[in-house]
Structure 1
């Protein structure tokens, strides 16, 4: 009698909604630094756009000296920049907020990382110039639809202040992991804004417009704004830089373990410098030990960490992880609650039982 090998078991995206498609990465089961196309989380406000990529052109217009329309071939021929960048949805971990907030109930997997290649926006702007009155640069995507709070048709559009837009790390990307950007992640051109939450990294760029005032589009002035008060808009401020954060990948929350020696592992990241260290607590925060960083700490990418745990005593354990970045930012014990549930970065917490 012949026995066949069991098929290889692979993780799949975790579906949140299908129209528009919103799916998160099974981050607990991912062991590499580079997330493949199939496991890259998907965040959309609308259905996927329709356009003819073979006739794709990128105009830069508005408050420039010389408006210009770039072909893809022109963009490909310009000096390129390649970076490993973590992209995190600003709603990552939203389901952990207490009290609960409305919105896509993301767990811990609205987060992915890979190698992006493209041309810096500042390189393109050398061909157009900027007028002295320029204040912000608007990036309009091809994706559009009717917002629930209005009967109007909107394209997904976001702006960057001039200084962030011309930062040498802000790129118009055309490759992901040495291949053309997958269509579902912005092919043929996607803005990549390292260090900022991923709503800034506009997909399927349709056009770039330079303006002399604050952009008031709904995905800038209504959404992706921190509202610290439940009843009114006082104290609101924009969502920008990724907060320092960490996630325990193994063990899993509420997992049953036998007594023995385990390697607790996870990832940590920050949009504000590099990860300096990660600490772990096995006793619910009463005491802390330093974890071992198993990958080099780089700007704009996550670091992997682990900790050897001798789980020799039966019982229930609350395991916590806490990251600190090179600018002194530390994960807080409690998240900063806000009405739309952005920027969750409280100390990560799981429970396990040893028996």
Structure 2
């Protein structure tokens, strides 16, 4: 009997919350290194904004020589930059922290990757100029609402230090994978900050303001801050660069397998430099073997890796993966525990049973 009429089986996003919408990428079922619009993870603090995008303008104001309002047409006409970037929610893998932490309990799928095209932010700022007193650049999103700790209305706003804002790879993007950015991912304009956790890549950019002090908005001063102490705020510091990390995609955790030869696959990424090597262990980390990197290791992009595993003996196996980047950062055995559960990057581990 022909199978030609059987429906195609496709993965779906993994829903964590519907309002505001928070959904994970089914990372274990993503092949290659580009995630489609449909399967790109969704992270929102507020409901989706409402605005008439046909009348969309982007003002740059504050401590600039010439405040300016850019139309979309002007932005599209400027020299563009295209860049492949991992965007990882800083709460990715939060559910793995021990002791447990409050917040959206993301598994391993609050991460996606694709090709963004836009205008380097520094090109736009070249049209306005910066005053000597400029210290940070604030990006206001169109999305707003109440925070859990307050009935006051807040807009999602974040800042970048001048050096990061002027990095040639920091762009105001308008395309994802050669299409206009999907509305749910920031259409028509989204800031993309390669190498930093995704909260920095503000969606639906409404306004850019240059300031001469530290920005104190709640999504900068309260959230997206590492609090290493359970009882107080001592030692706190901001969430910025992606930690070196890896995820085993196949086999799935707690899978039953027969003895034989298996190709173990995964991804690895870092915000610093590029991935230099990925290692794998089958004995709980006592010994490590080097994996093969199957995609080129580029700055800002994840690498795909694999390892051929021949297993003949029955029993339970702990499989661990550990990435090292070109700056010498190595995944730790334990994550840096912090009160809000950001930046989890401990060695990835799964268990399988050979029957």
TM (norm. structure 2) is 0.99
Partners of 1:4 and 1:306 in 2: how far apart? 32
Q: Which residue matches 1:228? A: 228
Aligned to 2:353: 353
Tell me the equivalent position of 1:200. 200
SS in 1 for 2:131: coil
Number of the residue aligned with 2:314: 314
Once residues 233 and 3 of structure 2 are traced to their aligned partners in structure 1, the CA distance between those partners, rounded to angstroms, is: 64
The answer on whether the counterparts of 2:32 and 2:304 sit within 8 Å (CA) in structure 1 is no
Structure 2 Cα separation of the partners of residues 232 and 352 of structure 1: 40
Offset of 1:150 from its aligned partner? 1.2
1: distance between equivalents of 2:201 and 2:148?
A: 22
**Where does residue 30 of structure 2 map in the other structure?**
30
- Quote the Cα distance in structure 2 between the aligned partners of 1:235 and 1:3: 60
User: How far is 1:221 from its partner?
Assistant: 0.1
Q: 1:209 to 1:6 in 2, by over 3 A?
A: same
- Within 5 A, what are the aligned runs for 1:215-254? 215-254=215-254
2:151 equivalent in structure 1 = 151
Distance, in Å, in 2 between the alignment partners of 1:155 and 1:89 is 19
The 5-angstrom pairing of residues 1-355 of structure 1 reads: 5-355=5-355
| Alpha-carbon distance change, 122 to 316 in structure 1, aligned in 2, over 3 angstroms | same
Check whether the contact 2:291–2:307 (CA below 8 A) recurs between aligned residues.
yes
SS of the residue corresponding to residue 58 of structure 2 reads strand
SS of structure 1 residue aligned to 2:304:
strand
3-state SS of 2:331 partner: coil
Moved more, 145-154 or 156-165: 145-154
| In 2, Cα distance between equivalents of 1:292 and 1:3 | 35
Q: Shift of the alpha carbon at 1:32?
A: 1.7
TM-aligned CA deviation for residue 151 of structure 1: 1.6
Q: Aligned to 1:308, what secondary structure does the other structure show?
A: strand
What is the Cα-based RMSD across aligned positions, in Å? 0.8
1:128-162: per-residue Cα shift (whole Å, max 9, x none)?
00000000000000000011111211000000000
Displacement of 1:4 in angstroms is: 5.1
Which structure 1 residue ranges, 5 or more long, are not aligned?
A: none
1:214-262 CA distances to partner (integer Å, 9 max, x unpaired)? 0000000000000000010000000000000000000000000011100
The TM-score with structure 1 as length reference comes to 0.99
Count of matched residue positions in the alignment of Structure 1 and Structure 2: 355
**Aligned partners of 2:265 and 2:305 also within 8 Å:** yes
Between the aligned partners of 1:67 and 1:286, the Cα distance in structure 2 is 59
Q: Give 1:7 shift.
A: 1.3
SS of residue matched to 1:123: helix
Deviation at 1:8, TM superposition (A): 1.2
Please list the CA deviations of residues 40-81 of structure 1 after superposition, one character each: whole Å capped at 9, or x if unmatched: 000000000000000000000000000000000000000000
Alignment partners' CA distance in 1, 2:340 and 2:310? 40
- Structure 2: unaligned runs, 5 residues or longer: none
Preserved CA contact (<8 Å) 2:119 2:172: yes
Q: CA deviation at 1:2?
A: 7.1
1:261 and 1:251 map into 2 onto residues whose CA distance is 12
Contact preservation (8 Å) 2:60, 2:209: yes
- The 2-side partners of 1:312 and 1:88 are apart by 37
CA distance in 2, matches of 1:140, 1:4: 50
Deviation of 1:3 after TM superposition, in Å, equals 6.3
C-alpha separation in 2, matches of 1:4 and 1:97: 45
Structure 1: distance between partners of 2:259 and 2:3: 33
